[in-house]
Amino acid sequence: MVSPGEFAGLPGEFAGLPGVFTGLPGAVAVSHLSVYDWPAVDGVCGGTPHMHLTCSEAYVVTGGRGAVQTLTTSGYEVTPLAPGTVAWFTPGTIHRLVNEDDLRITVLMQNNGLPEAGDAVLTLPPEYLTDPGTYAAATVIPADASEEEQARVALARRDLAVRGYRALRDADGPEPLAAFHRAAAALVRPRVAAWRERWRRGAEAATAATGDQLDRLEHGDASHLADALVRAEQPSTYGRFGMCGRLDVYQGTS
């Protein structure tokens, strides 16, 4: 089965087909999210505040009730979330999900799920953002740990990020937020080349396929329609501890 987001170097009959992109539309990815109901250090139930540097993200609310708190250079906002709401935000938006009543969301992510595969920096206090090793020690959930230990680490990093987030939200003047932006950019810089390759094989390839199809149609060539494909899959992992809650993820989005 070809997974959403897997498009380059496909085996056999799918390899090198012109004008064909086999990932989800526009190289997006999806996951299903049950937002944490753990009370944070400030008494608010919800997820870990964080920011994406190159990807937009969208929430399609499928159940429950809550909100997303956001912080940008334009200020602090709270967007209510209820079934049927679609909310989205661009890179540079610090966001924190708040769970008021069993909040459940389908998350749409740019660049084949890159937001869940590295493009995120938690709003830890500045002393944890000095270098990748220090940051990783405070944020990485051990894959081979027990579920109880994974939950403990997820809770601890969430509360640490809430501390940093509240300091940014309550700061006087723009410099603390600008300093966080600089620290986040420095942390992810070693991974940018890999992100670029993911983008090249995903969103860029999807756009190129559309361009090729338009060129063909403009010349009366409908041959690419004979290469139509159908794909479906179930989540490959259920209940993974994520930044905002428990995730059901699909292969190619992690």
Question: For 64-82, what is each residue's pLDDT tens digit?
Answer: 999 999 999 999 999 999 9
Give the C-alpha distances (Å, rounded to integers) separating 97 from 36, 44, 67, 187: 9, 10, 6, 23
Question: For 31-54, what is each residue's pLDDT tens digit?
Answer: 999 999 999 989 999 999 999 999
Structure letter (DSSP) for residue 21: -
Q: Is the pLDDT of residue 1 over 80?
A: no
pTM here?
0.88
Mean pLDDT across the chain: 90
Question: What is 12-249's CATH number, 2.60.120.10, 2.60.40.290, 3.30.1330.10, 1.10.40.50?
Answer: 2.60.120.10
**What is the C-alpha radius of gyration for the chain, rounded to an integer number of angstroms?**
20
How far is 35 from 100, CA to CA, in rounded Å?
A: 10
Question: For 82-107, what is each residue's pLDDT tens digit?
Answer: 999 999 999 999 999 999 999 999 99
Residue type at 125 in one-letter notation: P
Give the C-alpha distances (Å, rounded to integers) separating 153 from 9, 35, 125, 165: 37, 16, 17, 18
CA atoms within 13 A on the CB side of 90: 3
pLDDT at residue 11, as a whole number: 29
Taking alpha carbons only, the member of 179, 187, 184 closest to residue 132 is 187
Domain boundaries, the chain: 12-249
Question: For 122-158, what is each residue's pLDDT tens digit?
Answer: 999 999 999 999 999 999 999 999 999 999 999 999 9
